[in-house]
Amino acid sequence: MKDILTAPFITEMRETTANMYRQGWDERNGGNISYLLEEKEVAEYLDLNKVIRTIPTGFDASGLIGKIFIVTGTGKYFKNVDKDPETNLGIVRIAKDGTTAELLWGYKDGGKFTSEFPAHMMSHMARLKVDPEHRVVMHSHPTYTIAMNTVCSTDEKEFTHKLWQSNTECIVVFPDGVGVLPCMVCGTNEIGEATAEKMKKFRLVVWTNHGIYGTGKTMDEAFGLIETVEKTAQIYMLSLGHVVNVIPDEILKGLADLWGLTPLEGVLKV
């Protein structure tokens, strides 16, 4: 067996969590990531027949039976992942009963996956139906995104429009727009179900007064989506109350046409 600490998926988790912490997106134990892994890749580093222990999922994850994920741990700080990945991360496989996860590696202090595990797994199930190449769900608390969310309507088309109008990159990076949920109790199946419903249409979902979920085929894609929203939210908040120029809808449509993209319906007024 190869040393698991040299596995590319471990390296990605170490680097990404450290970067997100440096960005100020994941204070204390805020934020979580889950990453769907290929069984044959994991088998190079772990004996897949060796289950350390089982952990209840708290919901029916039958749509993911046999799938293997690396997931950040509950109560764990992103700043500590790089120096101690085996405590702060875990590799789990959804068991045949669909309501249990088999721990294959990690959480060595007896911990378990993030409290947002249901929201992550439900989002994975929703995104895989839309995009079979989907792999990553990433949740964080970006400062300006939350700030913008507090001064804007929770109408997702309006929120998307404000982002598109503030930065020409936005309509190119997320022509599908941004979903928005009202303020809800986090860590519950209810918010997981609501997020998954949005994920049928969006790769990005804002949780009002809380943060954002981003998804993608790769860690870079999920990170890049959140990064683009956060940079643009910063622009929006810095210019709030003093806006003279916004990107006209004609230009936004021109950008979409140039890149062969289909913008979220009902946002542009052209």
pLDDT reported for residue 182 = 93
Are β-strands 68-72 and 32-37 bridged in parallel, bridged antiparallel, or unpaired? Answer: antiparallel
The packing angle between helices 189-199 and 117-130, to 10°, is: 20
Residue 221 annotated to the active site? no
Backbone CA torsion sign across 206, 212, 215, 218? positive
pLDDT for res 241: 79
pLDDT, residue 187, reads: 85
Question: What is the Cα–Cα distance from 168 to 162, expressed in whole angstroms?
Answer: 11
pLDDT, residue 1, reads: 86
Right CATH for 1-114 from 3.40.225.10, 2.40.10.10, 3.90.950.10, 3.30.60.50? 3.40.225.10
Other Cβ atoms within 10 Å of 79 Cβ, number: 17
| pTM score over 0.85 | yes
Q: What is the pLDDT of residues 62-79, one digit of tens each?
A: 999 999 999 999 999 999
CB–CB of 171/255 below 8 Å?
Answer: yes
In CATH terms, are 1-114 and 116-264 the same topology?
Answer: yes
Which CATH number does 116-264 carry?
3.40.225.10
How deeply is 247 buried, as exposed, middle or buried, from its count of CB atoms within 10 A (0-12, 13-18, 19+)?
Answer: middle
- Give pLDDT < 70 ranges for the chain: none
What are the domain boundaries of the chain? 1-114, 116-264
pLDDT number for residue 67: 98
* Catalytic residue selected from 102, 116, 156, 230: 116
pLDDT number for residue 3 = 96
Nearest to 91 by CA among 43, 152, 162: 43
Q: What is the pLDDT of residue 244?
A: 85
pLDDT of residue 143: 97
37 contacts 90 by C-beta, under 8 angstroms: no
